[in-house]
A = this chain, B = another copy of it.
Amino acid sequence: MTRQDSIRLSGTSYAVLGLVRHLGRATPYDLKQLIAESLDNFWPVPHTTFYAEPTRLAAAGYLVEEQEPGGRRRKVYELTDQGRQALERWVADPASAAPVLHDEGVLKVFLGADPSAVFGARRDWHETKIGELERHLEGIRFALDGDPPNRGSLEGIAAALAAGIAFHRTYLTLLDEQLADQGP
């Protein structure tokens, strides 16, 4: 009998349910590994949440929790019907919360910092980031050329990576425009 503690489900909750559905059986660490560098660009989840949130979801009946008897005694999660249904309902609804951006650099400039200094530093960061994501994406593409055991998974990650790269490129363009409007 699943419990109905009627907890609130956030985007992060659904992210956890979705990742568990994807892996079938997953430990918190698996979840963390899955999204590093891909989904993380659009929906950051601190790693501690992957330990806390599944426990919450299991208590409310969306997941089942098992613990390995020996070794690291890791907890392994699987979706329940209730979890699957909640996830499907949420995914089917095309409405989504407005995107939210947190940019400390713009805040600094708003509070009087020198735009060239702040945006200049930021520029380099985006370039580095793009490099990382591209390298990662290449790796995935290479894997996709071989045999595809987990093809679907990799394709989703590739799409997220491509979108992430597009996002950072756009940001770079915007920054360069700002920098051009300023200094010499």
Chain A contacts to B: CB under 8 angstroms: 11, 14-15, 18, 39, 41-44, 87, 90-92, 94-108, 110-114, 117-118, 120-122, 125, 129, 156, 159-160, 163, 166-167, 170-171, 174
Contacts and interface: CB of A to CB of B under 8 A. Distances in A.
Counting every copy of the chain, the complex holds 2
A43 B98 CA distance: 14
Given A94-B114, A99-B171, A100-B102, A43 B107 contact: yes
A105 B39 CA distance: 12
A90 B39 CA distance: 31
A109 B140 CA distance: 19
Given A39-B107, A106-B160, 15 more contacts: A11-B104, A11-B107, A15-B107, A15-B111, A42-B103, A94-B121, A96-B104, A96-B105, A96-B122, A99-B101, A99-B103, A99-B104, A99-B105, A106-B163, A110-B159
B125 A98 contact: yes
B113 A14 contact: no
Task: Give the one of A97, A118, A129 with max B CB within 10 A.
Answer: A97
A96 B99 CA distance: 21
B113 A167 contact: no
Contacts of A98: 125, 129
A122 B100 CA distance: 13
